[in-house]
A and B are shown apart, each in its own frame.
Chain A
């Protein structure tokens, strides 16, 4: 389908994470036509691979279930997965957008019965667990995947595995001939909700991520703590698989740093406070968490949660940015070197596991967003430049937690509606 049916009354939402889904659903529930474009094979984005949210410690997939039910019941949202926006032209109320769709190699017949996965032997690193474990090359991204259809990884196309998958499918849902296709959409307004990426922790050389196995990032630790993660919810050390009861949380890993990310990523303080409760939940009184920080930015109502964690005897706070992480090469225990700036005490503290509260890098930086969407010095989309009809939403606009991202996405939906309503008024 070269040109999809979309008019200048259609709102395009780029990015199928919690912000993109919110913008799409809120607009659709106001009666607007929406096309939701997602580059991976499923909606849900980064929140689908979070185990719990701060401050309630509730489960992100619970919100995803509600949003998916809203999506299933709403015919005016069209979802295009494995799709990326490659070009945007035209102006406010009258855009032409080029979308490149990579082949899924599985058509609508798929009943998600899983037969193809059993037939295939090749495996790929599992992106939803940040590559900590592997996934069959014919896979359903995760249990809450939407659309609920399997995907064949391009790496096995043209190999015996692809043929095995095709043969195993009783509903000829596997179509090895699928090609990449490009389609053009006419849309009235665009909401850019491409979210964020964890900063590459290997660039923070003094912390030894990549050189020392027991130095991991907060998003990887989140997967370890998740019962459906690579370790079945056991918090363990990648080096020897032993349980990690003494965990260090290093704040501002990349953020607030002229050499890395100039901005403060806002969520890392609360993420670490939350994750100290994972260690507590796993090991009770035997747990030992230490948070190394510059300022604990548990802002406004999150202060309640910070106060609660401060009352937890298993959590210690050290006001110090860790200077260097070394490793005891025999036991592979990470050793944190630095100075506690409250009272100037030098420490070289040994931990089972170090979690870098990694900063947020906007994923807008890579994508070629249209010129009029101004990116600020940290690479986030600037607030809606007046006249522009391309609006940022969620973490593409600023380092935001989920609550603020969703609020921001709801606002972006209204801005998009304003554009398409005006276009409609102009024509009527």
Chain B
């Protein structure tokens, strides 16, 4: 490692000079922090202050700097020194703003500041400015799986941005569902009439695009590698499988219509005149081809009455059918009713609905349906019984509050739901052990990932992102779901969704080439480095990685894939032998900080509590508590961690052994509506900490010594209160018996 030269800078601005002795802080940095160069500055973030730091780096060869001023979340433009390793001691929000400005508190406030300076100096010496992955591979060819409207849109939009695409389609033709429709719901002003699907034109555009290579009757036999270096075996029907390399993947495998034969009570299968929406589209296309009106399938008789049954097998609370709503079927039924009304206004069309869901400009389409004479009745259909060539539809009319029947319906259309083609559910299907990997016919991607062959599913089989603000964050970096496989949607939305997914794929490929991480630590150059000789192949890192980024070789050693890693550190937290670390964030960078704290002896009545706070939610909450001058106990020392999942239990035992009286872990909410940006980080920490009790017993310590909390970013009142309550609990159970032994 190049010769390290350290420097510490103590700022006197924003009240630090008045509330603290910065001269003493400088001394601490010098003597205890052993920093080669220490400077005090009245206004460190000013142009002059920043220039002083820059000069030390450029002229005096400083490689490691510790800045003791405000929070790492503040003044990021001013303190921007990418070439050097940098640590930030949070003296403003973390000390003077969170401690009372009173004479009595002056001493403990100064002690807190001294400790944070010690910690910053210790941390930076263990850090290295991340240089990025040396063997990052650049490949910006994209793979799109699925040739429906979503897949074709992703391919076309990527190509328009100048990126080459290979489009793989399972069937023998492009177009997917849209090709099976006669017309589509309008997506442009004036939103009044069924519109051309535009699929033919899109297929033509894909064909004519030199940037797009189409592979029909093909499936994915095997996918391995990582963003920037995916290698994918594309199997053709005739059996051969060519392996090609890609930078990123868009999975647009679409949906299948719910099997209406599971709805006998609605007459499906009992009469050819009961069809689902796809069936009606087929009838419409055949009629249009023959330039004749749609006839009754049973006897080719004239159609006078059509009944549309909404939410058929959907929004089902019994658990037997689909519990969700597919979003597009109300508008689709209106469109299909218009097929009849436009051809012959005398045809009676009735839509039986529970909630008519046509959001946005869909209301114009609803009004247009009404003006064409489509009748909308709020009713819950109980049965559809065929009677000769007609059907009777029995329902509860919720407006007129009575049981009613529509006799002699010539056609009944069931609005069934979308079932995602998301391949294999990796939570349910056992994974192949390394070396015994076999392709699975049901899998879409056939990933050779340790954690399974397809994208993890959110709910109801959709591979959706859990995050409202980040809809594309599937849990497999570089592989983006688009279209109805991600969530139920109509054509207009599938086009938007596919365009967005195309961008994310392009972005993943470009960033993989630069060794930069994807969301949420976008642009982070650090990546997990593992000392394999110390590894005991316990496989905890490969199993617990929320993003399935770590595979295993035959000898069960973990194989790290830098561009699949989101840099959350969960593997680092899991590793019992602590062989995993990042250049600027490791067991040592945090370990050094907690050991640098000066822990007073048991007679000083000054306990020390270590707080490990998630940098995404708990740490900002404590920062904002400081901004609101919401004070809390002076006995805590707060260390931000990338995610609670990265907390290695050694930090807890080291802290307790070195005399800390208590350890608080503050992470994000876990469980169903988890809030953790790394999906399972806080859940894993909670699980690991639940095992800590027996270690505490071995150390003859009370179980209260370690506490784990779920803290949200808005807990500006609650987080300080939790600290104060915990400090009171520690005062109650007394100082740690291990003080003085370290």
Where the two chains meet, the residues of A that have a C-beta atom closer than 8 Å to any C-beta of B are 18, 22, 25-26, 29-31, 51, 53, 56-67, 69-70, 72-74, 109, 111-114, 143-144, 148, 170-171, 226-228, 256, 262-266, 295-301, 303-304, 307, 319, 341-344, 374, 376-378, 380, 382-383, 398-400, 402-404, 406-408, 410-411, 413-415, 417-418, 421-422, 425
Contact = CB atoms under 8 A, between A and B. Distances in A.
Contacts of B323: 303-304, 307
A406 B317 CA distance: 31
Interface in B627-651: 627-628
Interface in B463-506: 464, 466-472, 487-489, 492-493, 496-497, 499-500, 502-504, 506
Interface string B352-387: 000111111111100000000000001000000000
Nearest to B468: A53
A298 B317 CA distance: 15
Contacts of A399: 359-360
Given A65-B620, A303-B325, A29 B361 contact: no
Of all A-B residue pairs in the complex, the 5 with the closest CB atoms, nearest first, are A63-B469, A410-B500, A411-B499, A300-B327, A266-B359
B13 A170 contact: yes
A227 B520 contact: no
A66 B524 CA distance: 13
B466 A264 contact: no
Nearest to A113: B14
B675 A406 contact: no
B211 interface: no
B714 A264 contact: no
A342 B398 CA distance: 5
Contacts of B510: 30-31
B85 to A, nearest CB: 16
B161 A58 contact: no
Given A74-B522, A383-B187, A417-B161, 5 more contacts: A56-B675, A59-B675, A74-B523, A295-B357, A403-B471
Contact of A30 (B315, B507, B520, B673): B507
Contacts of A422: 160, 162
Contacts of A170: 13, 43
Contacts of A343: 401
Interface string B683-700: 000000000000000000
22 contacts: A53-B469, A58-B669, A61-B714, A62-B616, A62-B712, A63-B467, A63-B469, A64-B469, A73-B522, A109-B46, A111-B45, A171-B43, A228-B716, A297-B359, A300-B326, A300-B488, A307-B317, A341-B399, A374-B189, A406-B471, A408-B500, A410-B503
Contact of B717 (A56, A227, A380, A410): A227
Nearest to B46: A109
A376 B500 contact: no
Contacts of B466: 56
B75 interface: yes
A180 to B, nearest CB: 24
B462 interface: yes
B647 to A, nearest CB: 20
A69 B327 CA distance: 34
A263 B367 CA distance: 11
A144 B617 CA distance: 12
Interface centre among A72, A109, A256, A303 (most CB of B within 10 A): A303
Contacts of B74: 111-112, 148
Nearest to A376: B189
A28 to B, nearest CB: 9
A64 B467 CA distance: 12
B677 interface: yes
Contacts of A67: 469
A402 B469 contact: yes
Interface string B164-191: 0000000000000000000000011111
A228 B497 CA distance: 34
Contact of A407 (B497, B523, B624, B628): B497
Given A228-B716, A303-B315, A425 B487 contact: no
B709 to A, nearest CB: 16
B156 to A, nearest CB: 10
A301 B459 contact: yes
A58 B359 contact: no
B520 A383 contact: no
Contact of A300 (B188, B358, B361, B487): B487
Contact of B675 (A62, A344, A380): A62
Contact of A111 (B75, B469, B673, B677): B75
A62 B710 CA distance: 14
A271 to B, nearest CB: 13
Contacts of B488: 300-301
B180 to A, nearest CB: 21
Contacts of B40: none
A264 B189 contact: no
B70 interface: yes
B712 A59 contact: yes
A226 B714 CA distance: 9
Nearest to A47: B469
A74 B511 CA distance: 13
Nearest to A297: B357
A342 B399 contact: yes
Given A30-B507, A61-B713, A70-B522, A264 B327 contact: no
B46 A417 contact: no
A47 B460 CA distance: 28
Contact of A299 (B359, B361, B469): B359
A425 B162 contact: yes
B496 A171 contact: no
Interface in B663-684: 669, 673, 675, 677
A421 B162 contact: yes
A53 B713 CA distance: 14
Contacts of B675: 56, 58-59, 62
B39 to A, nearest CB: 18
Given A59-B712, A66-B677, A299 B327 contact: yes
A413 B504 CA distance: 10
Nearest to A378: B361
Contacts of A30: 503, 506-507, 510
B187 A344 contact: no
B468 A143 contact: no
Contacts of B160: 418, 422
Contacts of B669: 58
B401 A382 contact: no
Given A53-B468, A398-B361, A407-B500, A26 B507 contact: yes
Contact of B511 (A29, A64, A111, A319): A29
B61 interface: no
Given A228-B716, A264-B359, A62 B401 contact: no
Nearest to A114: B627
B188 A382 contact: yes
B161 A414 contact: yes
B332 to A, nearest CB: 13
B251 to A, nearest CB: 16
A263 B355 contact: no
B157 interface: yes
Contacts of B398: 319, 342
Given A264-B363, A301-B460, A18 B469 contact: yes
A65 B616 contact: yes
A29 B469 contact: no
Contacts of B489: 300
B462 A29 contact: no
Contacts of A25: 522
A382 B713 contact: no
A109 B500 CA distance: 38
Contacts of A425: 162
Nearest to A143: B624
B103 interface: no
A31 B361 CA distance: 35
Contacts of B624: 143-144
Contacts of A299: 325, 327, 357, 359
